[in-house]
Structure formats: C-alpha cells, structure tokens
Chains A and B, each alone.
Chain A
C-alpha cells in the first residue's frame, strides 16, 4: 500500500512559516544585541598611522563597548582619518575635551579603541565633531593636563604599562630637543648663526672650550637615551615579553631570570643616565637656562621611566610598589662665605 500524507502541503507550509518566523526573531534578537537598530552618532578622529586600527573594531568606555569604527582612510596629508560612531545611549558621555586612545601602541593588536570622556560640564559633542586621538598633540595635551576622565585602579602592572607610551613620547621629545639645542649651541659657539645667541657667543672670549666638552657630554647622553628608548620599544624586548600569552607573572617566574635581569639592567641604565643628566644639568645651569630647563625635563622623564621600571620590578613578586622619592632637604643657611 502506498503511504501518503493527507496534508503534506499544509505541513510543509507550516514548517516553512515557522522557520521563517524563527529566522526573523533570531535576526531581530541579533540585531538588538548587536545594536543594528540603535541610533548612532558619528564622529571623526585623526591618527598618525593606521597600524592597529581596523574597520569594525569597538570603541570602549571603561570596558563597555559604546561604539565602533566605521571607516579608515589615508588623507592628503598622509594622516589617517578615522570615522567612528557612538551609540545614542552613550552619547551624553561624549563631552568636550574627549580623547580617543589606541591602547595597542604598546600592547600589540588591541581589540578596541578606548575613549576618555572630557571632564568639562556641558552638552555632548554634536554629530560629526572631531575628537582628537592621543597620537595628536592636542590629544596628548588633553591627557597630560588631566582634562579627561581616565580610568585608573585596574591591575597595577597594566596601569604601569599604560603609562609607557607617554613616557616614551616624553623621552623622544626630550632627546630631539636636546639634540636640537646641542646643534644650535654648537652653531652659536662656532659663530656661524645669525641670531642674537650667536652674536652674543661670539663676544664671549672664554666660552668655547668648556662648552665643547659639555656638548660632547650632551651628545653622549643623547645617544644613550636614544638607545634606551629603542630598547624600550624593541618588539622583541621587555614589554612584548611581559605581554607574552602565558602572562607576565608566568614569564617572570619561569624564564630563569632572563626577563628579570633585563628589567634590572634597564633600571641600572636609567639610574646611570639620570645621574649623568643631573650632574650635567647642575654644571650647565648657569650657562644656558634653556639647556638647563630642557635637561630638567629629561630628568623628570627619566625619573618617571625609572619609576615605571621599578614598579615592574617590584609589582608581580615583591609587592613593594613604587618607592617614595627623597624629600628635598633644606641645605641650611651657611654658604661658605668665610674669610681666610
């Protein structure tokens, strides 16, 4: 006997309908969860390089995804224009002075950009507004002058590592400025420049010998700082090793002290460089206020870098944290003005 469904067409129709309904429901749920239907507010930003950026990457605010990257393009000035959007539900957080950050400057390929909202009170930034990134001077200054709401208090080692890009920037800037100053000082001493400094120097008869020595010292220190900065940025160096997939603590504990020794050697280098710059600063302070100020900046950067390294050294195992600096002590009233 031939078997036959009496309502085969109806059953197939119902199944098809249910499947389509399920598809619509699933799509709707996916859309809601992926915020396909949420209204988006678009903004633009500027980066110096597209490295680490990709279309579709998230924009996070304190760990919450609040938007996505829509488009990346190379502009006429060889800068990278980035278009991104923020979901309307988070729009009220995007206040003036907000800054976009690419954490992957240090951490390799980051999954998401980070946005630091501005701290000023006011209306949220309107559609299409330009929000600087920390790869621009404006963005750096907003972060440096603490005008943004920057998260702190996470894992201590992550916090310390997050400080490194800024410190490396500072080191780079000071190295360049010392180099420039060194060149202009040399030009001045040789009497080749046309500026007021050069003419002043031409009239100083007992200036050149001592300063030539000083410039050699500056150049030496500049070179050693440059080496140090390169070492810190080395893709096979300290920081990537710390971020090894097996984890920083694991690496530190299980590599026969290789990384540990690396950290210690950098600390020794930093201490040496800081001491050298410090003594040079003292001896040159009276000769060139500009040079002295630049060197003060260098010392500050180095001290900061030294603290970061010290934090790395102390954090995972010893838990000593970053040590207190020495408080300046009043040298007292006496200034050796006695007669002989």
Chain B
C-alpha cells in the first residue's frame, strides 16, 4: 500500500474506530446536580459516622436520616442501603434493638433487589452482629455462612470472618475462633484496612485476656493500637488504651496500667466521651490511690 493509502486508512478507519472505542469505554459523567446532591449525602454520612464515634447519637441519626432522604431522591440504591445500615447501627448502640432489626430488614429487602455482593454481605454482617449481641450465635453463624456469590476480600470479608470468630467463641470453640480472627486481620491488612484489622486484634486480645493469657493479650492489644494509630482513628486508640490498661492491671503491671489508664482517660476526654473518660479516671484513682485531676 502507498503512504497516501496508509494515510487515508488511518484517517477514515483507524482514528474513528479509536475515538469510538474511547467514547464507549469512558464512564458517562453524572449530571452536575445529581453529583452535587450525592456529595451532600456522602458528607452527611461522614458526619454521621463521626458523630457515632463520639456517641452523639441524636446528631448522628439526623445526619444519616438526611443522607437517606437525599439518596432516596436520587434513587441511589447503594447509598440508601448504607444509610439504613448506619441508622440501624445507631439504634443498636442506643439499645433500641427492635428498631435496629427493622432497619436492617428494610436494608435486606432493598439489597435483595440488587446483585451487589458487597452490599449483601454488609447487610448480613450487621444482622449477624445484632444476633450476637442478642446472645444468639447460632443464628449469627447462619447469617455469616458463605453464599454464592460471596465477597472474597476487603473490609466486608474481614468483618464476616471476625464476626464468625466471635460467634464461634461464644459457642465455646476458642481455637477455631482465634484462627478465624487471625484470618480476618490478615484479610484486612491485605486490603490496607488497618482499622478493620485492629478490630480483629482487639477481639483476639479480649479472648486472651479472658483466658488469663495476659502476655498474649497485651501483644494483640498493642497490634490493635499500632493499627489504629496508623490511621489516627481516635475512638479505636482510646479503646485499645483502655484494653491495655485492664490487661496490665490484671497482669499485675501497676505502673503500665496507670500509664494506659491515664492515656485512655485523656483520649476519651479529647473525643468528648465523658462517661468513658470518667470511668477511666476513677480506675486510675483506684489504682494509684490518690485523687486524679485535669493535668
């Protein structure tokens, strides 16, 4: 073929085909108004999570509720389900178990209409967590059973394994529980989900401490603390410090316990969780035998 023919071929066939392929492969943009509204809802969800971390449940509820309204107006199914789960979690934390169950069921009915394994797993994990807290590990295990299709990695998979571990522990199978929790932490670490990994380490620390294996418990709690610190996740750091304080006290390490209690007290205060802060302060007073005031 001559160079002229090559040029013609390039101009008339190759470039148009490339342009067509590019235009087909590019994700269509959201309309500006929808994008803005969705971002508003996303911001409200973040606010709600932050409020939940500081136990401001009324504010958290309002934020999640407003986000739900926006997601519903946009017919954003994923957002609706996440908002329903967040609302249910808020209810669960305020002790309104029935309301939490209803909200999770509502999310379940929404998720049944979608083929999103992550969302499905998220709903099932929340329901399993609720079952565990109601003292029904058998039902929790049923909800945590692998399904087809199932998520194979990331935060939800890690949460599934962690909750399975908690359920098996509640059923008396501690070794199996520990293996599941270690696997959960590994999955989370692989997905760069440090806070999720910390949750698994925290549970492992709890199990070891309740089994009077304090060195092991301290090791797990320190791993949890390290993971939470890597993400500057304050509520996790405060909880880890409290766990380390209890473990150290049980292990007879009084000085370390005092140090951890003092740090957890300040961490809770910084978060505005006054009840937790006061409880840590009183423990510190009991341990040190002298009044503890603001430094």
Contacts and interface: CB of A to CB of B under 8 A. Distances in A.
Interface of A: 152, 205-206, 208-210, 279, 281-287, 289, 296, 300, 325, 327-336, 338-340
Nearest to B199: A334
Given A152-B32, A282-B271, A333-B130, 4 more contacts: A289-B56, A325-B42, A332-B125, A333-B92
B54 A333 contact: no
Interface size class of B (residues with CB under 8 A): 35 or more
Contacts of B49: 328, 331
Contact of A333 (B89, B210, B235, B293): B89
Interface of B: 32, 39, 42-43, 45-47, 49-51, 53-56, 59, 82, 85-86, 89, 92-93, 122, 125-126, 128-130, 155-156, 159, 162-163, 195-196, 199, 202-203, 205-206, 209-210, 217, 232, 234-236, 239, 243, 246-247, 250, 266, 269-274, 293-295
Nearest to B56: A286
A285 B272 contact: yes
A208 B195 CA distance: 31
A209 B271 contact: no
Dominant SS among interface residues on chain B: helix
Contacts of B162: 334
B85 A328 contact: no
Contacts of A279: 232
A152 B36 CA distance: 15
A282 B294 contact: no
Given A282-B50, A330-B86, A210 B270 contact: yes
Contacts of B50: 281-282, 285
A192 to B, nearest CB: 20
B122 A330 contact: yes
Given A282-B234, A332-B196, A335-B93, A340 B243 contact: yes
A300 B43 contact: yes
B103 to A, nearest CB: 12
Contact of B82 (A208, A287, A330): A330
B155 A332 contact: yes
B63 to A, nearest CB: 10
Contacts of A300: 43
Given A330-B85, A330-B122, A336 B239 contact: yes
Given A327-B42, A332-B125, A340-B246, A206 B294 contact: yes
23 contacts: A205-B294, A206-B294, A208-B294, A210-B269, A279-B232, A282-B53, A283-B234, A283-B271, A286-B274, A287-B272, A289-B56, A328-B42, A328-B45, A328-B49, A331-B49, A332-B126, A332-B156, A332-B159, A333-B92, A333-B130, A333-B159, A334-B159, A340-B246
